[in-house]
Amino acid sequence: MRVHKSPIARLADVATYVAAVPIAAFFLIPLVWLGSLAVRTPQEIFLGASRFIPENPTLDNFTRVLTDSGFLVYLGNALKLSALGGAGAVLVAAPAAYAFSRLRFRGRGTLMTAILAVQMVSGLVILIPLYRYMGRLGLIDTHTGVVAIYVAIGLPISVWLLKNAFDGVPMVLEEAAAIDGYNRFETFLKVTLPLAAPGIASALIINMILNWSQFLVPFIMLTADSKWPISVAIYNYAGSTTASTTQLLAAACLVTIVPAIVAFLLLQRAIVSALTAGAVKG
């Protein structure tokens, strides 16, 4: 059955698209230009051609980047840090989120708001004391220290996302488990967690995407280039870029951002659902 919209509703749709087009262009044009640079020859870069479509496009730049053993090491470091940081944040946040979802205690709402407020604090504010603190623990220039910071950064949003996921699990199932003799921990482990798996997976994916784009923390905490993630490696590479290597830098940047874009496009429904679950219930 076809739904007929009123003229006002159609006008609102048109206005939405009119506003969305320049916003999308604002973000897409730099990405398209980056792709254009990535498939150019050194000669075209040197001549400074300003056209979007190169005269002699080539994939050699991607081949050179992907066959560089150093680049693969940086990609591996980024994947390792992102995955461990995301998994750690979800693991630590899960019990807290379950408590907020199932227990009723004084100050519960205030504490949830305080957790969200922590997410709004810029990392720059605490970076210097954090560096000194990690230094006293002997975690400077270690992946363990970076992962620990990633976990702390991802905790607030993970608690909120997982709370929404646990809220979606019917209480009657946990009550049935209690009748069967399960204690609170067994119910959480064997009933609630499996049923909330989609929300947990969404929280993990969001944390990994956010960690993948982290620059400031690894830039400050890691000094050995063999431990850098790709974000820091590209920054240092950009500082030594000349006209003859600009196309390689563009190819490296494109290879770096493509995984995050692809992951979001493939999993956008799960991600958006996890982010909007609380609003829908409200």
Provide the domain count of the chain. 1
d(CA 15, CA 70): 48
Closest among 240, 43, 217 to 123, alpha carbons compared: 217
d(CA 165, CA 162): 5
**Between helices 197-212 and 69-102, what is the axis angle to 10°?**
140
Tokens of 22: 């320049």
d(CA 65, CA 34): 15
Domain hosting 128: range is: 68-281
132 within domain boundaries = yes
127 within domain boundaries = yes
18 within domain boundaries = no
134 within domain boundaries = yes
The stretches of the chain forming alpha helices (DSSP H) are 7-38, 42-47, 60-66, 69-102, 108-119, 123-136, 143-167, 171-179, 184-187, 193-195, 197-212, 216-221, 230-239, 246-281
254 vs 278: which has the higher pLDDT: 254
Residue 126: which CATH number? 1.10.3720.10
Name the least confident of 44-58, 97-111, 182-196. 44-58
Q: Is 48 left (phi over 0), alpha (psi -120 to 50) or beta?
A: left
143 within domain boundaries = yes
Using one digit for the tens of pLDDT, what is the confidence trace for 143-157? 999 999 999 999 998
258 within domain boundaries = yes
- Dihedral sign for Cα atoms in the order 30, 31, 34, 36: negative
Q: Is the pLDDT of residue 280 over 60?
A: no
What is the model's pLDDT at position 241?
Answer: 53
Residue 59 DSSP SS3:
coil
264 within domain boundaries = yes
Distance of CA 231 to the CA centre of its chain: 13
Closest among 216, 225, 206 to 159, alpha carbons compared: 206
Q: What's the pTM? A: 0.81
145 within domain boundaries = yes
What is the model's pLDDT at position 25?
Answer: 82
Q: Is the pLDDT of residue 243 over 70?
A: no
* Banded pLDDT at 282 (limits 50, 70, 90): very low
Report the amino acid identity of residue 137: L
Mean pLDDT value across the chain: 83
